[in-house]
Amino acid sequence: LAEHKASFAALLIHRDGTIDEAEAVRYEALLEQMPVSSERRRAFAAFLETPPSIDHVGARLASLPRDRRVEVLRAIAPLVDASQRADVGREFFLELAHQAGIDPVAAERMLDV
Q: Are 77 and 113 in contact (CB under 8 A)?
A: yes
Give the pLDDT score at 79: 83
pTM assigned to the model: 0.80
Domains in the chain: ranges and CATH: 2-111 (1.10.3680)
Give the pLDDT score at 36: 93
Q: What is the pLDDT along the chain (113 residues), one digit of tens a residue?
A: 888 889 988 888 887 777 888 888 888 998 999 999 999 999 999 999 998 898 999 999 999 999 999 999 998 888 887 777 788 889 989 999 999 999 999 999 999 87
Compute CA distances 47 → 1, 4, 98, 107, 109, whole Å: 16, 12, 23, 25, 28
- What is the rounded distance in angstroms from the CA atom of residue 44 to the CA atom of residue 15? 17
